[in-house]
Amino acid sequence: MRAIQTCLESLGLGAPVHAGRLTMVPLTAGGLRADSSYLLLDEAMAAGQLEVSEISDAGIVANLLATNLSDKPVLLFDGEELKGAKQNRIVNATILVPAGAKLTLPVSCVEQGRWRYEAAGFSSSGEALFAKGRFRKAERMASARRMKDARQVNADWTPDPAHEAGPIRGFARRAETLGDFDAGQSAVWDDVHEALLETGRRSASSAMHDSYVLRRGEIESLSSVFAPADHQVGAVFYIDGRAVGIEVAGSSRAFGAIFGKIVRSYCLNALGQKPPFELPAPEAVRAFIAAVTGLDQMVSPSVGMGDDVRLDGPSACGAALISEGHVVHLSAFSKAAFEPA
pLDDT digits (tens, 9 = 90+) for 69-109: 999 999 999 999 999 999 999 999 999 999 999 999 999 99
Determine contact, residues 69/48, Cβ cutoff 8 Å. Answer: yes
**Residues 29, 231 contacting (CB under 8 angstroms):** yes
pTM score, two decimals?
0.90
- What value, to the nearest 5°, has the Cα angle with vertex 131 and ends 29 and 284? 50
What per-residue string of b and e applies to 77-95 under the rule 16 or more CB within 10 Å gives b? bbbbbbbbbbbbbbbbbbb
Amino acid at 181: F
Rounded percentage of the chain residues whose pLDDT exceeds 70: 89
User: Closest Cα to residue 112, out of 206, 208, 213?
Assistant: 206
Q: Residue 118, Cβ neighbours under 10 Å: how many? A: 14
213 in Cβ contact with 206 (< 8 Å): no
Query: For residues 14 and 241, what is the distance between their CA atoms, to the nearest angstrom?
Result: 17
Check the CA dihedral 59-84-266-294 and report its sign.
Answer: positive
Q: How many CB atoms lie within 10 A of CB 283?
A: 7
Burial 225-260 (b: 16+ CB within 10 A, else e): ebebbebbbbbbbbbbbbbbbbbbbbbbebbebbbb
Q: What is the largest CA-CA distance in the chain?
A: 65
Predicted local distance difference test score (pLDDT) of residue 160: 44
Q: Nearest 5 degrees, angle CA 149-CA 173-CA 118?
A: 110
Per-residue pLDDT band at 31 (split at 50, 70, 90): low
Name the burial class of residue 334, with classes exposed (0-12), middle (13-18) and buried (19+) by CB atoms within 10 angstroms of its CB: buried
DSSP 251-299: SHHHHHHHHHHHHHHHHTTS-SPPPP-PPPPHHHHHHHHHHHHTSEEEE
At 149-200, the pLDDT tens digits run 444 544 444 444 433 333 333 444 454 445 679 999 999 999 999 999 988 8
- Residue 30, pLDDT score: 66
Whether residue 33 has pLDDT greater than 80: no
Question: What residue segments make up the domains of the chain, in order of their start?
Answer: 2-334
d(CA 169, CA 151): 21
Contact (Cβ atoms closer than 8 angstroms) between residue 22 and residue 267: yes
Angle, CA of 10, 14 and 16, to the nearest 5°: 135
Q: How far from the centroid of its chain's Cα atoms is residue 114's Cα?
A: 23
Helix ranges restricted to H, the chain? 2-9, 41-46, 131-146, 150-153, 162-177, 185-198, 208-214, 216-223, 252-267, 282-293
pLDDT of residue 1: 74
- Distance spanning both ends of the chain, measured CA to CA: 34
Q: Report which DSSP code applies to 341.
A: -
Kindly give the pairing relationship between strand 39-40 and strand 74-76: parallel
